[in-house]
Amino acid sequence: MNINGKKIVLVGSGFVGMSFAYAALNQNVCDEFVIIDIDKEKANGEVMDLNHGLAFAQSNMEITTGEYTDCKDADIVVICAGVAQKEGETRVALLKRNAAVFESIIHPITESGFKGIFLVATNPVDIMTKITKELSGFPAQRVIGTGTTLDSARLRYLLGEYFDIDPKSVHAYVIGEHGDSEFVPWSQAMIGTKPIETICRQHEQYKHTDLENIGNQVRTAAYEIIKAKKATYYGIGMAIVRICKAILNNEKSILTISCQMRGEYELQEVYLGMPCIVDNTGARNIVRLSLTRSELANLQASADFLTQTYREIQTEN
């Protein structure tokens, strides 16, 4: 770790990476922020642009471009790098290309002597986080992804609108794959200390069909944003900041990061978005939920999909 202060290295200066960097600067997340990108000219330009705003920020963050050797004393390496999908390219083919990109990234990071925590944001994040764990050889606790952190924030926002309540008072999660098989375990959703399902039973203006529609809106939100503006980056950038703060400040906060299942719900090895206690060791513990039978089936289906996809990457020529 960096003995001189909190240090983050960002790999990838695309829209997501720079939305994270901008949010990190404004929230004064760390003391030292290093950006690495294969396009060094772009990385230099981004660093210049960020540094020119330091006079207006509540931060004295040192922002520089760097090399993989700079990861040696970093607390967190955030990975936002990846390749875009080509027209007609299959999901598995895209994953294989991104796996090759990650191989070129992870090995020099570990060779630098990095002993911190990997935080992966590249999609499909659950698969890419597992790939990072396998390539790095790091303990699963120290390799995490953004998971369904943003999905859960979207859910809380929409439920806050629906119930006319501050989203910070809404306690509900999206779990499973960060993708089409994700779902909301409504049995665990609460406003304050009151279950949302109880509120729906007691007040006829609130309907379970409306909740299902909200769940669908969360699941399809990224598609809507991409249709309107070609990409999503502000929300995920802020989600990355939130996770970094939980790590750097040893918060022990519960966030729905992508973490490796280690026997919970009889699942092994697969990475899923699950509520987890996040502290300066990474994913400290998964919070066990009292899921219903149908929710357990949804979780198993999500895990099966991710496991099968990972196997296809390993076996396709």
**Which residues carry out catalysis?**
178
DSSP the chain: --TTS-EEEEE--SHHHHHHHHHHHHTT--SEEEEE-SSHHHHHHHHHHHHTTGGGSS---EEEE--GGGGTT-SEEEE----PPPTT--HHHHHHHHHHHHHHHHHHHHHTT--SEEEE-SSSHHHHHHHHHHHH---GGGEEE-TTHHHHHHHHHHHHHHHTS-GGGEE---BB-SSTT-B--GGG-EETTEEHHHHHHH-TTS-HHHHHHHHHHHHHHHHHHHHHHS---HHHHHHHHHHHHHHHTT--EEEEEEEEEESGGG-EEEEEEEEEEEETTEEEEEPP----HHHHHHHHHHHHHHHHHHHHHHH--
